[in-house]
């Protein structure tokens, strides 16, 4: 960093030649990629990563602004950091800052600055300003008005720091969303759909492979709409085209698709998964409800019948496929009958995994002014019932996998347990599904892909044994 020596104001100049930051990520995996990207820009601007909040000059809380509970969690983080470190600088970044900066400037004096997610390349500037100026927001060379990437930050997001477990990385293929579901504030926070061109995404995947990544989790608000904003008259790329492009990459790795709106599910991707086993038969499809009346009010085009048809088609095309969904309960106007229809859908769909969420009334969304509000207690009870039923379904679906020959991505050794590791199978997405408990006679390296056999279920986890060599070394299959 010699090129741009800096001076500090208000801090212990003698001790510090280079400012340091500590970033605390909150929210969804799309926000995690933003956190990783901001770290790349700060590192590229000559900032150091503080080992912990206490040793850093500034704490950056990368917040979530999606629903009330998540907003409160991010605000509580700022308040507790302020309590722990009365003099330290705190920058509130992320969706909450993007959505409410003007209000928060009035009401959250505990934060020294607010930085939305419209242009992450300016994070060093914002951190510099929050630290009280007098030191560089970007290398001297950079002209003032150009949001030029600071030196040291490669054009390739595949070089960014990764906060995922070893061997896995989220690849954000698009930002924003045009679906405008009635309950959702994302379009107001993240803006309209903005897809990344296929060559950009391929370059990122290539770089991640060079770094030893074995699993790409493709993410966006709705992968089903990927590319609709790139090109006109049908010459725009789409998700199948992107997967075809990724299938041209050499080597053995996994590709997992997360968040495909059921009304936009591109069926051709099933053929690609059948042809190229590196594309996992795993689909995260947020069905949200089973009552046609409520789905219509949510501004969704499908219904229980079409959604069950999609589930059947996925399973007929890809036997052994794993499907995850989310269910939203307590939406305005939801009656006991509507909720019963959701439970019937849940029972018939028999999905591997599903999370249930209670509706959060979000200003600026179409549902905000809708009549027939469901009491929070009722919504919470419906969430509890849906989760309870899903746990039993997931256990049944996992039990059916005992005896399966598959592959496992090793993530970490279990502390103090010789020969026992944690990892994931193709039917288990990071952080949200059950885990694979791996027994091995030999030492395993985190981030490796190995052949495995499922020999038992333990709750929602699966116990697997592995004997063979690292499958990533084997020729492409
Ligand atoms: S698909 Fe619907 S729920 Fe998902 S981000 Fe877009 S508007 Fe929100």
Q: What is the pLDDT of residue 234?
A: 65
Q: Does domain 3-142 have CATH number 3.40.50.12160?
A: yes
Question: Smallest Cα–Cα separation from 332: which of 353, 310, 358, 307?
Answer: 358
Q: What is the pLDDT of residue 132?
A: 81
Long-range contacts of 76-80 (CB under 8 A, 24+ apart): 77/24, 77/26, 78/108, 78/110, 78/111, 79/110
Q: pTM of the full predicted structure?
A: 0.91
Question: Smallest Cα–Cα separation from 394: which of 353, 435, 446?
Answer: 353
pLDDT tens-digit readout, 55-80: 999 999 999 999 889 999 999 999 99
Residue 44 and residue 149 in contact, taking contact as beta carbons nearer than 8 Å: yes
Q: What is the pLDDT of residue 467?
A: 65
Q: What is the distance in A from the centroid of ligand 1 to the CA of 286? A: 9
Taking the C-alpha atoms of residue 167 and residue 163, their distance in angstroms, rounded to an integer, is 11
Task: Kindly report the average pLDDT of the chain as a whole number.
Answer: 91
DSSP-assigned states of every residue in 24-61:
EE-S-HHHHHHHHHHHHHHHHTT-EE-SSGGGSSEEEE
Q: How confident is the model at residue 187 (pLDDT cuts 50, 70, 90)?
A: very high
Q: What is the distance in A from the centroid of ligand 1 to the CA of 89? A: 34
Taking the C-alpha atoms of residue 321 and residue 405, their distance in angstroms, rounded to an integer, is 14
Q: How confident is the model at residue 418 (pLDDT cuts 50, 70, 90)?
A: confident
Residue 363 and residue 184 in contact, taking contact as beta carbons nearer than 8 Å: no
143: pLDDT strictly greater than 50? no
Q: Where in the chain is the domain with CATH 3.40.50.12160?
A: 3-142
Residue 228 and residue 188 in contact, taking contact as beta carbons nearer than 8 Å: no
Taking the C-alpha atoms of residue 436 and residue 260, their distance in angstroms, rounded to an integer, is 25
Q: Is the CB of 224 under 6 A from ligand 1?
A: no
Q: Is the CB of 184 under 6 A from ligand 1?
A: yes
Q: What is the distance in A from the centroid of ligand 1 to the CA of 195? A: 15
Query: How large is the angle between the packed helices 268-275 and 304-317, nearest 10 degrees?
Result: 20
Q: What is the distance in A from the centroid of ligand 1 to the CA of 188? A: 10
Q: Is the CB of 177 under 6 A from ligand 1?
A: yes
Query: Kindly report the CA angle at 285 between 277 and 446, in degrees rounded to 5?
Result: 50
Cα 337 versus chain centre, distance = 33
Three-state DSSP class for residue 83 = helix
Q: Is the CB of 290 under 6 A from ligand 1?
A: no
Q: What is the pLDDT of residue 138?
A: 47
Q: Is the CB of 186 under 6 A from ligand 1?
A: yes
Q: What is the distance in A from the centroid of ligand 1 to the CA of 178? A: 8
Question: Smallest Cα–Cα separation from 119: which of 201, 37, 184, 47?
Answer: 37
Nearest protein Cα to ligand 1, atom 5: 221
Q: What is the distance in A from the centroid of ligand 1 to the CA of 118? A: 18
Q: Is the CB of 223 under 6 A from ligand 1?
A: no
Start-end of H helices in 400-468:
none
Q: Is the CB of 187 under 6 A from ligand 1?
A: yes
Residue 304 and residue 345 in contact, taking contact as beta carbons nearer than 8 Å: yes
Q: Where in the chain is the domain with CATH 2.40.50.140?
A: 405-466
Share of the chain above pLDDT 70, in %: 89
Q: What is the pLDDT of residue 470?
A: 58
Residues linked to residue 405 through DSSP beta bridges, in sequence order: 453
Alpha-carbon distances, residue 406 vs 148, 351, 403, 433 (angstroms): 45, 20, 9, 17
Backbone angles phi, psi at 211, to 5 degrees: -85, 0
Q: Where in the chain is the domain with CATH 3.80.30.20?
A: 157-399
Q: Count of CB atoms within 10 A of residue 116's CB?
A: 20
Question: Smallest Cα–Cα separation from 189: which of 362, 24, 66?
Answer: 66
Q: Count of CB atoms within 10 A of residue 161's CB?
A: 14
Q: What is the distance in A from the centroid of ligand 1 to the CA of 476? A: 35
pLDDT tens-digit readout, 452-461: 999 999 999 9
Ligand 1 atom closest to 288 (CA): 3
CATH number of 157-399: 3.80.30.20
6: pLDDT strictly greater than 50? no
Fold for domain 405-466?
Answer: OB fold (Dihydrolipoamide Acetyltransferase, E2P) (2.40.50)
Question: Smallest Cα–Cα separation from 173: which of 118, 97, 255?
Answer: 255
């Amino acid at each position: 960093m010699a090129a741009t020596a800096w001076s500090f104001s208000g801090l212990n100049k003698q001790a510090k030649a280079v400012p340091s930051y500590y970033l605390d990520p909150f929210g969804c995996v799309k926000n995690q990629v933003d956190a990783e990207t901001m770290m790349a820009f700060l590192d590229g601007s000559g900032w150091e990563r503080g080992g912990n909040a206490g040793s850093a000059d500034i704490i950056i809380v990368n917040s979530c602004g999606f629903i009330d509970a998540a907003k409160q969690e991010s605000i509580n983080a700022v308040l507790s950091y302020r309590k722990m470190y009365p003099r330290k600088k705190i920058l509130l970044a992320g969706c909450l800052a993007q959505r409410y900066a003007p209000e928060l400037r009035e009401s959250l004096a505990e934060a020294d600055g607010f930085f939305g997610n419209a242009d992450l390349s300016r994070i060093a500037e914002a951190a510099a300003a929050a630290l009280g100026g007098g030191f560089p927001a970007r290398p001297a060379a950079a002209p003032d008005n150009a949001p030029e990437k600071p030196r040291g930050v490669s054009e390739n997001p595949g070089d960014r720091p990764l906060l995922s477990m070893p061997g896995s990385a989220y690849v954000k293929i698009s930002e924003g969303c045009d679906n405008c579901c009635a309950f959702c504030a994302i379009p107001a926070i993240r803006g309209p759909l903005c897809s990344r061109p296929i060559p950009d995404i391929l370059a990122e995947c290539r770089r991640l492979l060079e770094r030893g990544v074995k699993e790409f989790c493709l993410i966006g608000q709705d992968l089903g709409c990927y590319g609709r904003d790139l090109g006109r008259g049908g010459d725009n790329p789409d998700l199948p085209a992107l997967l075809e492009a990724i299938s041209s990459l050499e080597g053995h790795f996994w590709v997992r698709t997360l968040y495909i709106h059921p009304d936009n599910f591109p069926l051709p991707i099933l053929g690609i998964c059948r042809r190229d086993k590196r594309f996992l038969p795993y689909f995260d499809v947020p069905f949200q409800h089973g009552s046609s009346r409520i789905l219509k009010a949510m501004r969704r085009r499908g219904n229980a019948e079409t959604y069950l048809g999609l589930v059947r088609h996925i399973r007929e095309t890809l036997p052994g496929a794993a499907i995850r969904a989310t269910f939203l309960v307590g939406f305005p106007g939801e009656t006991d009958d509507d909720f019963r229809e959701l439970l019937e859908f849940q029972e018939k769909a028999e999905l591997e995994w599903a999370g249930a969420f209670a509706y959060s009334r979000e200003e600026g969304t179409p549902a905000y002014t809708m009549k027939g509000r469901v009491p929070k207690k009722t919504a919470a009870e419906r969430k509890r019932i849906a989760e309870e039923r899903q746990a039993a379904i997931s256990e049944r679906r996992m039990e059916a996998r005992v005896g399966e020959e598959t592959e496992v991505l090793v993530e970490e050794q279990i502390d103090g347990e010789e020969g026992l590791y944690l990892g994931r199978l193709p039917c288990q997405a990071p952080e949200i599904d059950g885990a694979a408990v791996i027994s091995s006679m030999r030492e395993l390296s985190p981030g490796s892909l190995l052949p495995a056999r499922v020999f038992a279920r333990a709750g929602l986890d699966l116990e697997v044994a592995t004997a063979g060599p690292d499958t990533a070394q084997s020729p492409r299959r």
